[in-house]
Amino acid sequence: MNNLQKTYSMKGSEIQKKWYLIDAEGKILGRLASEVANVLRGKNKPTYTPHLDMGDNIVIINAEKINLTGAKLEDKEYFSHSRYPGGMKFTNIKKILKTKPEFIIQTAVKGMLPKTKLGRQVLSNLKIYAGKDHPHQAQQPEILDI
């Protein structure tokens, strides 16, 4: 019984973050979002610690070229409310894909993260751009193939 090993818990000062670049062209929205959520959270690392922001930074480009399966392009709607009586607003995903495609990916990833302070902190490590240009060349992001 003296040979038991203790569980290792990482400290915040020991965390080393990387930058990853993901090209969303031709990717399916839900599959991309679940992989991105795991990397953002740090669950792909052997030193994963649930109460710390262990994840890496992710830059997603070509958000406007994301694929949706089934009839989502016609049927899926996003809901918002102005907090006034009768202030419900439903917006079709086709319209959002034309105007702000970053919102679609961010919403999908946000739904797969914890609904806590840690989840909001982890989401800030995600950068999404509609086109292929991004301002994070100085961080030298590695290409992550999903």
Strands 126-128 and 19-23: unpaired
Candidates 133, 142, 128; CA nearest to 63 is: 128
Q: Is residue 10 part of a domain?
A: no
The pLDDT, as a whole number, for residue 5 is 82
Q: Is residue 4 part of a domain?
A: no
Q: Is residue 84 part of a domain?
A: yes
What tens digit of pLDDT does each residue of 113-138 get?
999 999 999 999 999 999 999 999 99
**What are phi and psi for residue 66, nearest 5 degrees?**
-75, 150
What tens digit of pLDDT does each residue of 12-31 get?
899 999 999 999 999 999 99
Q: Is residue 42 part of a domain?
A: yes
What is the count of structural domains for the chain?
1
Q: Is residue 40 part of a domain?
A: yes
What's the pTM value of the predicted model, to 2 decimals? 0.91
Give the structural domain span for 121. Answer: 17-143
Q: For residue 83, what is the domain's CATH number?
A: 3.90.1180.10
Query: How many Cβ atoms are within 10 Å of 77's Cβ, its own excluded?
Result: 14
Q: Is residue 88 part of a domain?
A: yes
pLDDT of 1 strictly over 60: no
What tens digit of pLDDT does each residue of 65-88 get?
999 999 999 999 999 999 999 999
Query: How many Cβ atoms are within 10 Å of 9's Cβ, its own excluded?
Result: 10
Q: Is residue 126 part of a domain?
A: yes
Q: Is residue 69 part of a domain?
A: yes
